[in-house]
């Protein structure tokens, strides 16, 4: 199966400064790995998101602040982790635009799959606040766009090692969106307890530091996949963070590329059961470049239906 990969060179122009974990080399590593593969990929330029699409999720004050960029030519910090640079506004619009375009494309047919190779990432950004390297919540923007265009049930699966607090906060009162999340705890941002259930549409599955692959797989097999099955989504969206890899410096996960392939295969099966195979994935975390490249390639390989 051919998978569409949405990306744009502007996403490399979001500058976070020397020594920052979320730097342009992350995206280059992912793109190099996918270009070097023999996978059946259809490459697409990510369009610019419209301001109104972002306003469906974020407050106007945050949108205006991000799109204004830094006051001068230097990097400006919104918090100790989250930067604005002259290239940030376009990068942020392209990252959000990728997920919107991918959602529109998969919803226009059956058995369509897409991966958004973009940055900055999104799942920590809340409605009124950028945080944790994230400016706009790309996957939430795609979900809001699909809801506004008639989709009744959307599931968002987040397997980044950090809890997707922004996505959860945006949709915790929206019963048409199911959010399921596996993540290390304790770890930044400190949210994602099992008793955070929204209006019955939130399911968190935290695991301790140094939890093995078998334990994480079991959470998906026994808790999260059954929850998605019960919800029967018409569209499956994925926050694909690869920082639960054993080599990642920002957490204490023990996963390997084959575990992300296994998880992607399970999510594809869910999409085939309930969503006519329609799945959109977007890049979140992953900070050890060789591990990130291997894991992203394994993820897209599984989206292509290959092993």
Handedness of CA 9, 11, 15, 18 (dihedral sign): negative
| Residue with the two structure tokens 């949709």 | 171
Nearest to residue 184, comparing CAs of 211, 158, 202, 203? 211
Q: Which of 14, 58, 124, 299 is catalytic?
A: 124
Nearest to residue 99, comparing CAs of 237, 295, 218? 237
Instruction: Summarize pLDDT for 231-274 with one digit per residue, the tens.
Output: 999 999 999 999 999 999 999 999 999 999 999 999 999 999 99
Q: Which fold has domain 3-303?
A: 3.40.800
With beta carbons less than 8 A apart as the criterion, state whether 164 and 51 touch: no
Q: Are strands 154-158 and 76-77 parallel, antiparallel or unpaired?
A: unpaired
**Residue 73 pLDDT grade (very low, low, confident, very high; cuts 50, 70, 90):** confident
Whole-prediction pTM: 0.98
Distance CA 206, CA 218 (A): 12
For the chain, the domains span: 3-303
Question: At residue 84, does pLDDT exceed 90?
Answer: yes
Q: Are strands 235-240 and 202-207 parallel, antiparallel or unpaired?
A: unpaired
The whole-number pLDDT of residue 139 equals: 98
Q: Is 124 a catalytic residue?
A: yes
């Amino acid at each position: 199966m051919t998978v569409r990969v949405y990306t744009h060179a502007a996403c490399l122009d979001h500058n976070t400064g020397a020594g920052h974990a979320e730097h342009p080399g992350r995206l280059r590593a992912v793109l190099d790995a996918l270009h070097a593969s023999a996978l059946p990929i259809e490459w697409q330029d990510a369009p610019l998101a419209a301001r109104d699409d972002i306003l469906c999720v974020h407050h106007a004050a945050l949108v205006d602040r991000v799109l204004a960029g830094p006051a001068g030519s230097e990097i400006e910090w919104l918090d100790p982790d989250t930067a604005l640079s002259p290239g940030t506004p376009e990068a942020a619009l392209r990252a959000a635009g990728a997920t919107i375009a991918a959602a529109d494309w998969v919803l226009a047919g059956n058995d369509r799959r897409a991966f958004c190779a973009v940055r900055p990432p999104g799942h920590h950004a809340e409605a009124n606040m950028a945080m944790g390297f994230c400016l706009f919540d790309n996957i939430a923007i795609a979900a809001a766009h699909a809801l506004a265009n008639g989709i009744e049930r959307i599931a968002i699966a987040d397997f980044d090692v950090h809890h997707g607090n922004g996505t959860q906060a945006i949709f915790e009162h929206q019963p048409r969106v199911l959010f399921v999340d596996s993540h290390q705890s304790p770890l930044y941002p400190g949210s994602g307890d099992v008793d955070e259930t929204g209006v019955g549409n939130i399911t968190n599955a935290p695991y301790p530091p140094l939890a093995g692959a078998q334990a994480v797989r079991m959470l998906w097999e026994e808790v999260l996949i059954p929850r998605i099955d019960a919800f029967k989504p018409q569209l499956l969206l994925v926050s694909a963070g690869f920082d639960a890899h054993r080599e990642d410096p920002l957490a204490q996960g023990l996963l390997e590329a084959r575990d992300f392939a296994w998880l992607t295969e399970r999510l594809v099966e869910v999409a085939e059961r309930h969503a006519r195979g329609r799945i959109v994935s977007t890049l979140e975390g992953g900070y050890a470049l060789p591990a990130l490249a291997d894991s992203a390639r394994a993820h897209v390989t599984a989206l292509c239906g290959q092993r």
